[in-house]
Amino acid sequence: MNTPQPIRPESFDTLDTSMTKARRLAAMLQAISGPSGQESFEDVAPDLRREYLDLAAELASDVATELSDLLDRHINPREATQ
């Protein structure tokens, strides 16, 4: 039977960083919609669009890495500890 491994302390740092990125991205996206909710992504300056997309890609990569690591530890705990 596979025994789940405890979450490593460095995972909390990574998770905290990812949460910070997620909050920042959420704030940016809320700013796009504005109070009327009528603005669109195309209305945003190109340099800010690039920043939003870069942050979203970075966040998606962080989440994918953490999920992969988490699955590895729970599905193959022996391999994760070697």
The domain total for the chain is 1
The answer to whether position 25 is within a domain reads yes
Query: What tens digit of pLDDT does each residue of 7-60 get?
Result: 666 666 767 777 788 888 777 777 766 666 566 667 777 787 788 788 888 888
Q: Which residue has the tokens 């669009």?
A: 49
The answer to whether position 7 is within a domain reads no
pTM value is 0.52
Question: What is the domain range of residue 38?
Answer: 12-81
The per-residue DSSP string of 38-57 comes to ---GGGS-HHHHHHHHHHHH
Residue 79: pLDDT band by 50, 70, 90 thresholds? low
